[in-house]
A and B are shown apart, each in its own frame.
Chain A
Amino acid sequence: MSRTPEPELDRTLAAFDRVLFEASPSEADLASLDRASEHAQGERFLLYRDLVRSRLKDLVATALPRTTALLGRAAIDREVDARLSSAPPTTRFFREVVEQLFDPREPRLSHPEHPELGDLARLELAQWRAIWLEVAEPAAVDFDFAKRPVLTATMTRLELAFSVHLADRPVSQGNFHIAVYRRRDHVVETRWMNEELAAILDAWREGSEPAIEGVRTAMSRLGRAPTPELVESMSGMLAELLERGGVLGSRP
């Protein structure tokens, strides 16, 4: 049900809203808000602007710590300021604000000295989302290669051109196949795998055919035949994913 219009009240709140989110608050808005105050130049309403923005900037910096370290906090703050002026948050859920205020595809964020920045931000956003994502996990029975596999709905697959998943090593260029998911114990797992295992995982995530057919589909897409080494590494990945909750089992 829409609210009953209260024109004067709504004009006041609209001025307040502009002071919070416009790139530069207008003197007219500040003056209209500050009519009853002894504080000159709308200082108290600029305080609200600062409180709102500081809180949102802190959130983005907390959610993307390595991106913030790479770009610098001042750059993160500038980006959030720019986004707030064009697209303030439209979600009531604080955790979802991060993705609304920081988009790795934003051209303003290109950084010639750090071409890995986009990959790093995508990885950290995937990890942030996996922490809190609410999913309805499908029913699953014990894993059986003859049945369709069930993977956790918290899983995101990323293809990275920089090794940003290896936080303790110098960044290198290449093709890095990553899966991010939330484990049964709620810890977010970031798993790096080779091209063949990634293709198998993608086929399994589709969930449209039995697991063994998924392996054949993946190898067919790559134009390769399964080898004993592949079978061994796939078994290792499957055992790990089953234990941690990346693979939940098979469809009943």
Chain B
Amino acid sequence: MTESPSRPQRSPGRPKGVGLGLRHELAKELFETRPREVAWVEIHPENYVGRGGTFAAMLEEARDRYDVVTHGLTQCVGSPDPLDLAYVARLKTLLRDNRATWHSEHLAWCNLGGRFSHDLLPMPFTRASVRRAAETIRELRDRLEIEIAIENASYYGHPGEPEMSEIEFLEEVLDAADCKILLDVNNVWVNAQNHRFDPAAFLSRVPAERVVQLHVAGHFIRPDGLIIDTHAEPVCDGVYDMLDHTLHHVGDVPILLERDGNYPALAVVLDELRRLEAVRARVLEQRRLTPALEVRA
């Protein structure tokens, strides 16, 4: 295990450094060994709301050991259905118990007419979608009484005719809702490869002051070259490069590694976390030195 001198202290509701998505498959070893590489954890609230047994115990243990951040899967801000107020009330209780200062959901849709796809589906990049997302984000923020961050989603096909580019869509939603963003660097990379745009240019346009958290993950490349956002493979070099670029742009923002399948040994995950921390430490040091260099110049 590597000692990380830059590992931050706990600060409830305001995690710092590099965290890991809490998954049942990794939790036991994580709690037993409490590696220094994991500074905080992120949970999907749907896996804990209304659930007893192991997961309830796991959440209690996580709260004892880590700052716990929530990232929703089923209250996508593009869904046409009204908010499920009973669920939102239970989510609010969970956020309060976590001492959360923000909650994130996806800029996507996942339910219609009461039916849930249990997958994240792309919203059309249109003004109607901007209005829909902004309306939902504002209502969710009002009801949860907490800052909402939206995550840019990966997508494989655009439904219907777009009225703008993905980055324009993101900018318009952030402005219309006046909300935060959980910037998923892997999703930008995946979309850039699948839809042929420059990921660095995209990332540079994201309003840095709205970014509260970053995601990184691995993905699967099909034989035909299409990239599927699986979170079940190691993070690729291109995503590490984009993380470097992003951190130069947004500064010291908490970074989360998502792993949702093909679980390796925890030691392998910790290797990835160390590499992420190394990128973070290097960029933050460069950012610290850069103003001084400019002064000297």
Contacts and interface: CB of A to CB of B under 8 A. Distances in A.
B117 interface: yes
A131 B161 CA distance: 45
Contacts of B226: 47
Nearest to B54: A186
Residue picked from B74, B111, B119, most chain A C-beta under 10 Å: B119
Contact of B160 (A12, A20, A134): A12
Interface in A40-71: 42-45, 47-48, 51-52, 55-56
Interface string A183-219: 0001000000000000000000000000000000000
Interface residues of A, number: 51
A95 B118 CA distance: 11
Contact of A56 (B50, B118, B124, B135): B118
Contacts of B162: 36
B198 to A, nearest CB: 19
Interface in B154-174: 156-162
A135 B53 CA distance: 9
A95 B73 CA distance: 13
A6 B84 contact: no
Contacts of B46: 92-94
B233 interface: no
B129 interface: yes
B119 A12 contact: no
B221 to A, nearest CB: 14
B51 A134 contact: yes
Interface residues of B, number: 48
Given A3-B136, A21-B115, A186-B57, A133 B158 contact: no
A13 B118 contact: no
A130 B231 CA distance: 29
B178 to A, nearest CB: 18
A37 B158 contact: yes
Contact of A133 (B53, B117, B118, B156): B53
Interface string B46-78: 110111111111000000000000000011000
Contacts of A88: 115-117
A34 B54 CA distance: 43
Interface string B196-226: 0000000000000000000000000000001
Contacts of A135: 52
Given A1-B83, A132-B52, A134-B56, A89 B157 contact: no
Contact of A16 (B54, B84, B135, B159): B159
A88 B114 CA distance: 9
A48 B52 contact: no
A90 B87 CA distance: 14
B128 interface: yes
A212 B82 CA distance: 52
Main secondary structure of the interface of A (DSSP, over half): helix
Contacts of A36: 158, 160-162
Contacts of B116: 88-92, 97
Contacts of A12: 124, 159-160
A35 interface: yes
Nearest to A51: B119
B215 to A, nearest CB: 19
Interface in B65-124: 74-75, 80-84, 87, 109, 111-119, 121, 124
B258 to A, nearest CB: 16
A51 B231 CA distance: 14
A51 B117 CA distance: 10
A17 interface: yes
A48 B51 CA distance: 28
A9 B118 contact: no
Interface in A229-248: none
Nearest to A11: B160
Interface in A150-202: 154, 182, 186
Given A9-B132, A89-B116, A93-B46, A3 B160 contact: no
12 contacts: A3-B136, A6-B131, A8-B126, A17-B112, A17-B115, A52-B117, A92-B74, A133-B53, A134-B51, A134-B52, A182-B52, A186-B57
Interface of A: 1-4, 6, 8-10, 12-17, 20-21, 32-37, 39, 42-45, 47-48, 51-52, 55-56, 88-95, 97, 130-135, 154, 182, 186
The 7 closest A-B pairs by CB, nearest first: A44-B157, A92-B74, A6-B128, A9-B128, A134-B52, A88-B115, A12-B160
Given A51-B119, A88-B115, A131-B54, 5 more contacts: A36-B158, A45-B157, A93-B46, A132-B53, A132-B55
